Amino acid sequence: MDREDRTHSAQHSNTPLHRLSGTRSEALGSRRAVELGQRSALPVTVEVEQYGKEVLDFSSHYGSENSMSYTMWNLAGVPNVYPSSGDFTQTAVFRIYGSWWEQCTSSVPRFRRTPPSFHSQDYLELAFEEPVYPTAVEVLETYHPGAIVKILACSLNPFSQNPPADVRWEVLWAGKPNKALTPQARQFSPGIKQINFATNLLRLEVNCSLLEYYTELDAVILRGVRERPILALYKIPLIDISDLSDSEEEISDAGGLCCRSGGENRHNLGNGYFDRLPYELIQLIVSHLPVPDLCRLAQSCKLFHKHCCDPLQYIQLSLQPYWARLTDASLSHLQSRCTLLQRLNMSWTGNRGAVTAAGFCSFMKACGVSLVCLELSCCHFLTEACLEVIAQTCPCLQELNLASCDRLQPQAFNHIAKLPNLRRLVLYRTKVEQSAILSILTFCPELKHLNLGSCVMIEDYDVVASMLSARCRSLRSLDLWRCRNLSERGLAELVSGCRLLEELDLGWCSTLQSSSGCFQHLARSLPRLRKLFLTANRTVCDSDLEELAANCSALEHLDILGTRMVNPASLRKLLQSCPQLKLLDVSFCSQVDSRFVQELSGLFPNVSIKKSFTQ
């Protein structure tokens, strides 16, 4: 078994399976009928069991855009692997795991005010054939389970021709990041909350930071009933008498995530002597509040309204945790507070019409002048007009993340070249074309971090590498994950011109051949190298590792998964020569067996040595 691209045919079955069950209230009703002398049968409720029909959206995956191996699309249909455990190409696998990516120089610091309860790093959305009132959700995890932190249901039927005006998301279950005791397969079925609408659209959010290796998902089962449960009809919400703040429904009526303010506020004359505190101290106190609480507090009295609307409270703003509630109205109400905004995270927000291109452009025109960092991954409302407005209104922008904005048309990316101060650009899984990226590199020479992973519409990566070498000599990190046409000549030009590189991802770049000496030249040219991924390059050999050991003593992360030409002696030498090494992946390296990996792990306890398996 190997992590090699190959398509596979899986039979996707969405035929509902049925079970009979009776609710307690129905049973009681029948009992009363019998007691009254009436002849009546016991009412039954048909429970439908169905597998996912179609994967509609996701934030990342390990696989390529032109194959089924390790892609999120494998999650649709019946299980391909379960109950087997191990590393299988027929499963859905996210791009990252563990804390390794957070340790890299290319990682972005966490935004202030991110709620401690927000753990999600990746997501996927899965549609089912028939809307039901959920009674259970079961996820078949086949390798390193424990990543799921949230399961949500949507009121929208993605197959309906008449979508509702108001799209709602309800959390069925939420938990903290976890790690199962073993990497073996399991069926994850947490207790879920009862909701008052039928759904055939689920969203799974994951956090893989605690996992030892890539998590793999095989299938999702949605169980539910067609008719609304009687208990849900008469469900009375519990009210906490100590909670005197506005409810989320009232907040939504007043403008979504951020409430209206001004003359409509209820003023509390007794402010607990807060007005006697220095202005700066009150600012410090309220700076610890998450955004929704800040908006609620602004309604309590004039003093807090003044502090909570101070633009200094909104220099950094992360709206990603509130993706399900963010609307055009929310952005409109935030505009007056965000005149000093420098870092904005809107990743995952606005999809299915919640935010429009016009609403986003209006916000950017009002608040973009001081922006330095803009995170927009998976924002499917973005259009070419949005990128044009960003280029026109954000002259100071240094960081732009458009990862998985795969619905942006190719011509939209030309506007990025008008941002000459860019230092970090993420275009993972986008439709950027070669002409656009060459223009960007020409006019953005200060780039330090560039991610072109899985950009399948770039025809010749050698030309891109040559331009990087000539124009972006300050480059620190470069992600070329699954670039199919980078040759030894292009790599040689790249490492000769970009000698400050600390991170280089050449995973699944299958056209590179070690016999040309390209990897040895890489090692000699990049003495600052800290991360090198040569994943699935079968030609990596002992000579390459010896050059890395001799020239790259700062190396921390090395992935040589899948090579057949590295022996244990060269691995031992590498570990001895690179004292900073933390991650070494030798999965599917045919000359390195599990017993030797155990031996090395004992000799080098600070290094996490990975050896994937398949049962």
Q: What is the pLDDT of residues 315-373, one digit of tens each?
A: 999 999 999 999 999 999 999 999 999 999 999 999 999 999 999 999 999 999 999 99
Per-residue tokens: 411 = 């011509």
The H or E element containing residue 204 is: strand 199-206
In this prediction, residues 575-585 reach a mean pLDDT of 98
When mean pLDDT is compared across 56-60, 99-103, 261-265, 377-381, the lowest value belongs to 261-265
For residue 517, the model assigns a pLDDT of: 98
pLDDT above 80 (res 304)? yes
Query: Rounded distance, CA 232 to CA 197, Å?
Result: 9
Supply the angle between the helices 542-551 and 568-577 in degrees, to the nearest 10.
10
Q: What is the pLDDT of residues 70-95, one digit of tens each?
A: 999 999 999 999 999 999 999 999 99
Per-residue tokens: 247 = 């409810």
Q: What is the pLDDT of residues 485-535, one digit of tens each?
A: 999 999 999 999 999 999 999 999 999 999 999 999 999 999 999 999 999
Q: What is the pLDDT of residues 207-226, one digit of tens each?
A: 999 999 999 999 999 999 99
Per-residue tokens: 580 = 């900073």
Q: Per-residue confidence at 20, pLDDT binned at 50, 70, 90?
A: very low
pLDDT above 60 (res 607)? yes
Q: What is the pLDDT of residues 142-153, one digit of tens each?
A: 999 999 999 999
125: nearest Cα among 209, 213, 176, 53:
53
What's the first-to-final CA gap in the chain, in angstroms?
10
pTM (2 decimals)?
A: 0.88
Which positions ≥6 away from 58 have C-beta within 8 Å? 72, 122, 123, 124, 125, 404
Q: What is the pLDDT of residues 245-303, one digit of tens each?
A: 333 443 333 334 654 444 444 444 456 677 889 999 999 999 999 999 998 999 988 89
Spacing of C-alpha 201 from chain mean position: 18
In this prediction, residues 237-250 reach a mean pLDDT of 37
107: nearest Cα among 479, 404, 443, 370:
479
Q: What percent of the chain has pLDDT over 70?
A: 86
Q: Per-residue confidence at 615, pLDDT binned at 50, 70, 90?
A: low
For residue 162, the model assigns a pLDDT of: 85
**Cβ neighbours around 87 below 10 Å, total:** 25
In this prediction, residues 564-589 reach a mean pLDDT of 97
337: nearest Cα among 377, 308, 371:
308
Spacing of C-alpha 252 from chain mean position: 26
Q: Per-residue confidence at 19, pLDDT binned at 50, 70, 90?
A: very low
In this prediction, residues 184-204 reach a mean pLDDT of 97
Q: Per-residue confidence at 166, pLDDT binned at 50, 70, 90?
A: confident
Which residue, chain included where needed, has tokens 């074309």? 433
For residue 478, the model assigns a pLDDT of: 98
In this prediction, residues 589-605 reach a mean pLDDT of 96
For residue 271, the model assigns a pLDDT of: 61
**Which amino acid is residue 557, in one-letter code?**
H
Q: What is the CA radius of gyration of the chain?
A: 27
Angle at 313 between CA 416 and CA 301, to 5 degrees: 140
For residue 280, the model assigns a pLDDT of: 94
For residue 22, the model assigns a pLDDT of: 42
Query: Counting every residue, how long is the chain?
Result: 615
20 or 149, which is more confident?
149
